[in-house]
Amino acid sequence: MKQELRVSLVQTNSGPDRNANLADATRLMEAACLADHPDLLVLPEYVDFYAGEKEGKITLAQDVPGGQAYERLAEFAARHKVWLHAGSLVERIPNEQRVYNTSVVFDRSGREVARYRKIHMFDIVAPDGTAYRESVTVKPGESVMTYDLEGFKVGGAICFDLRFYAIFEQLMQQRVDIVVLPSAFTLQTGKDHWEVLCRARAIETQTYFLAAGQTGTHLINGEKRMTYGHSLVCDPWGHVVAKASDGVGFVSARLEKSQIDRARSLIPMHDIKGIPCTR
């Protein structure tokens, strides 16, 4: 059972070309493995295909398991003997006109050990008036995900889930040590909310919080849209212990079991019984 984990978060600029996206992600993962020898690699949301056209998503969605992206990422995990929390993939749903936005986790042998389908759809109007309607093309999932990573219990969520505390309360109740959040946060909301929310979730759950994001400009339905990037790692006390620069790349950190234990001993939130609020 490990007391420490090395992790690397990969930050990409994915688009509508799946082969190019996977090639870019593979190059960055290989660089991270060479430089920092991580136990766990984390990819961002929509790492295999990031475009807004409904027809494109339906046409290019692939089976999970069995699709090209799934097989290439499983093969990478096995070849490099690394755990891979594979961001999210566009998963085909038989006889449906929507897809799932799906995280898949592979162990060091390339075997799938967990799967999570994004629950909360990004249906908002941004400050500049841009409307986002993820639910038009994506069907929400229904359950949270956890898995054991060599003695660390890990929970997962995706992007817009970050704003909904209930999902993280469920993960906290299941005593996870690490939360992983692949994302494609918009620049407009990310510059004000990204780090604040990530740090808050780390503090509330007393976990390491790993958030890997898309970065830069993407062409969505013929319009240029920007993602925020700034992939980061927060410790259980809410400190940002690693953060990526602008642009594609990766960032690495070391996670220590002792820091989780320390935060929980200082403020024993798991053992404190809440008092119902009254009006």
Is residue 165 situated within a structural domain?
A: yes
Any domain includes 41: yes
Q: What is the CATH number of the domain that holds 77?
A: 3.60.110.10
Q: Which long-range contacts (CB under 8 A, 24 or more apart) does 132-137 make?
A: 132/186, 134/101, 134/160, 136/54, 136/98, 137/52, 137/54, 137/57, 137/58, 137/98, 137/99
pLDDT at 279: 46
Is residue 195 domain-resident? yes
Each of the 279 residues of the chain gets a pLDDT tens digit; together they read: 889 999 999 999 999 899 999 999 999 999 999 999 999 999 999 999 987 666 567 888 999 999 999 999 999 999 999 999 999 999 999 998 899 999 999 999 999 999 999 999 988 787 877 777 888 889 999 999 999 999 999 999 999 999 999 999 999 999 999 999 999 999 989 999 999 999 999 999 999 999 999 999 887 767 788 999 999 999 999 999 999 999 999 999 999 999 999 999 999 987 766 655 554
pLDDT at 243: 98
Distance CA 45, CA 185 (A): 9
Indicate whether 180 belongs to any domain: yes
How many structural domains is the chain composed of? 1
Decide if 276 is inside a domain.
Answer: no
The gap between the terminal CA atoms of the chain, to the nearest Å, is 47
* Residues acting as catalytic residues: 45, 118, 159
Domain membership flag for residue 24: yes
Looking at residue 134, its pLDDT comes to 85
Note whether residue 102 is domain-resident: yes
* Residue 275, domain member (yes or no): no
CB 144 within 8 A of CB 171: yes
The pLDDT value given to residue 276: 56
**How many CA atoms within 13 Å lie on the side-chain side of 247?**
2
pLDDT of 224? 84
Range of the domain at 22: 4-266
- Give the residue carrying structure tokens 């927060």: 234
